[in-house]
Amino acid sequence: MKPDIEAEITVLPSSVNLRKSAIRDDIVGYYECPIALPNGTWDCRVVFPDANGRVELGQTTTALIQFLSPNEALLGLCQGDTFQLMGRNEALPGFSTDGTSQLLGENGIIALGKVTKLLVAPITHELKLEFIGSSREYFRIWVVNLCLTLLTFGIFSAWAKVRKKRYFYSHTILDGTPFQYLGQPLPILRGRLIGASLFAVYYVSSHFFTSLLPYVFALGAVLAPWVIVRSASFKARYSAFRNMTFRFEGTYWGTLKVVSAWGLVPAIIIGMMFHWLKIAWIEGTLFAVGGLIYPWWISRLKNFTVCNTAFGNKNGQLSTTGGQFFKIYFCSGLLFALMLIPLGAALSIFHISKNSASYIILFSLPTYAAYALAYAYIQAYIGNLVWNETTLGPLRFKSTLSGWTMTNYYISNALAIIASAGLLTPWAIMRTMKYRAENLQVLVAGEVTEFSGSDRSNVSATGAELGEFFDMELSL
């Protein structure tokens, strides 16, 4: 496929001879010359729309540029890029050999131009994504860091986090280059200390001073958007690929608007503060509405997160609808119900007492399995939905997680971890990460060179660590 671009070309007044030489009486006017683009110099054919190929000196006109060389000419080419057309000192094919063509620009710049449109869609190709972590290696990192964390009463957990993140990132390889985790232990430690003290306030008020709880929630609601923004910013800022970091551009107010779920969350908090939730119909209505709009809320949150995440100069794009999420939650709920209804029926038929061993085996284990299935189903298909609809600059994603396989992973991981008293935790993590990476394809429609530049401002870790304590991270 020959890549073509459409361009605006201004012929320089100094290139006096262009007009003469570019015109041929018998064929459509074009001429061939080197074009100097930001990504290199290529041979091209410039076709002017005028049947005569006539161009006036100093005039700006639209022309078609066909590259004579193969695809790499389009490498990294963007709309708005400027170029120069170079004259050449030799006879060109397709021109008369009466000597006039030799006057073509005389080796200098004969015209300036700007790319207005890429006419041929750049070819899509896949960037190989692989996770090369090994259970043995990760076991050592995990156990050493866990041991040091326990020995230091948790202080070391900041270092442990960095070590583990580094391991995950650097063993995730995209197109031959590992990701980089740039977070540093000390800021994380500071964030964790603040997070832990706020969590203690929450814990004490939720367990001991329940009358204070609504106010703590209100404070939490005011703080939450800040925590979410900081957390997402930290995570993005300290994740890098090829020496370019990610960025999160959400603002406090933007986040507040999205998180408040059209005023429902503030309504619930105010309801708690004034004890309205004790009134059954108010509580019922609020929670029914909450349950119903939940998929739309999640959809909005995901769109917000992706659109505010940037790599280099490109922002993510995602426009899912609540309906797409509703379908997933609904199917998952249905699956859960279908598994539990026969179980409930069996229980009521056989009158099994709540404390008996048969109750545990007949009821608790299948409930756990049903829960795991419903949970894995949501994880897998929401993951697929979000990845598949996301674009980031020239990047497209294809996620092919299966709810059923994820259930198997979750349950077998749980069994392995319990049976090994936790020693198989690293193995469980590694195999699940491998599975996730194997089921994510990264495609490039265009060239990765479309990304450029990066912002190196610092983001404090406080928000990120708070987010971890309160489980408030927005994640893909």
Partner 1 sequence: MNDAIEIIEGLYYDGCKPIGLPILLSFLGEKTTMTGFGISKTYRTSQLTVTPVTGRAARFVILPDGGQVQCADLQILNVLANESPTEGPVVWLEKRIGVSVGCVALIVALLLSAYIFGLPAAADWALTKVSIETEQSLGRDALAWLDNNQWFQPTELDEIRTTRIRTTFSTLIGGLKMEHYYHLEFRHSKRMGANAIALPGGIVVITDEMVSLAGSEDEVAAVLAHEIGHIELRHTMKQIMQGSALAIIAGVVTNDASSYTVAVAGLPTLLAQTNYSREFEREADEFAFKLLKQHHISPAAFASLMERLSKDHEVEERYVSFLSTHPVTADRVKRARQEDGKGK
Q: Which residues inside 439-458 make contact with partner 1, applying CB under 8 A?
A: 448-449, 451-454, 456
Q: Which of 147, 292, 334, 338 binds partner 1 (CB under 8 A)?
A: 147
With respect to partner 1, which residue has the nearer C-beta, 30 or 131? 131
Q: Is 252 in the site for partner 1 (CB under 8 A)?
A: no
- Identify whether the C-beta of residue 138 lies closer than 8 Å to the C-beta of residue 428: no
CB-facing half-sphere around the CA of 463: CA atoms within 13 A: 22
- Per 3-state DSSP, what percentage of the chain is helix, strand, and coil (rounded to 5)? 55, 20, 30
Q: Least distance (Å) from partner 1 to the CB of residue 403?
A: 13
Distance CA 213, CA 219 (A): 10
CB-based burial label for 308 (10 Å; 0-12, 13-18, 19+): buried
Can residue 211 be called a binding residue for partner 1 (CB under 8 A)? yes
What's the min distance (Å) between Cβ of 367 and partner 1?
Answer: 11
Closer to partner 1 by Cβ: residue 406 or 459 = 406
Q: Using the rule CB under 8 A, is 207 a contact of partner 1?
A: yes
Q: In the sheet that 177-181 helps form, which strands lie side by side, from edge to edge?
A: 124-127, 440-445, 395-399, 391-392, 314-317, 309-311, 244-248, 239-241, 177-181, 172-174, 129-131
Q: Nearest approach, Cβ of 210 to partner 1 (angstroms)?
A: 6
Contact, 386 vs 306, CB < 8 A? Answer: yes
Residue 380 binding partner 1, by CB under 8 A = no
Question: Which of 120/127 has CB closer to partner 1?
Answer: 127
Interface with partner 1: number of residues (CB under 8 A): 80
Residues 6+ apart with CB under 8 A from 383: 399, 401
Of 93-101, 113-121, 135-143, 285-293, the segment contacting partner 1 by CB under 8 A is 135-143
- List Cα–Cα distances, 304 to 176, 250, 255, 317, in angstroms: 30, 8, 8, 9
Residues 306-345 that bind partner 1 (CB under 8 A): 312
Q: Does 71 bind partner 1 (CB under 8 A)?
A: no
> By CB under 8 A, is residue 268 in contact with partner 1?
no
Three-state DSSP at 147 gives helix
Stated as kind and residue range, the H or E segment containing 296 is helix 280-307
> Is residue 88 a contact point for partner 1 (CB under 8 A)?
no
Contact partners, residue 135, CB within 8 Å, separation at least 6: 426, 427, 430, 431
Beta carbons of 110 and 104 less than 8 angstroms apart: yes
Query: In this structure, what are the phi and psi dihedrals at residue 132, rounded to the nearest 5 degrees?
Result: -110, 20
Near partner 1 in 92-121, by CB under 8 A: none
**Which SS3 state, helix, strand or coil, does residue 353 take?**
coil
Closest separation between CB of residue 289 and partner 1, Å? 23
> Of 64 and 437, which CB lies nearer to partner 1 in the complex structure?
437
Q: Which is nearer to partner 1, 11 or 406 (CB)?
A: 406
Rule CB under 8 A: say whether 297 interacts with partner 1. no
Structure tokens at 388: 């598949």
Under the binding rule (CB under 8 A), the answer on residue 247 touching partner 1 is no
Q: Is 264 in the site for partner 1 (CB under 8 A)?
A: no
Position among 82, 134, 197, 251 found at the interface with partner 1 (CB under 8 A): 134
Considering beta carbons, is residue 99 or 453 the nearer one to partner 1?
A: 453
Q: Is 138 in the site for partner 1 (CB under 8 A)?
A: yes
Q: Is 377 in the site for partner 1 (CB under 8 A)?
A: no
Are 96 and 8 spatial neighbours (Cβ–Cβ below 8 Å)?
no
Binding of partner 1 by 190 (CB under 8 A): no
Q: Single out the segment in contact with partner 1 by CB under 8 A; choices: 25-33, 115-123, 295-303, 356-364.
A: 356-364
Site for partner 1 in 384-413 (CB under 8 A): 409-411, 413
Tell me the window of 89-97, 157-165, 253-261, 302-310 that interacts with partner 1 (CB under 8 A): 157-165
Q: Is 365 in the site for partner 1 (CB under 8 A)?
A: no
CA distance 197 to 200: 5
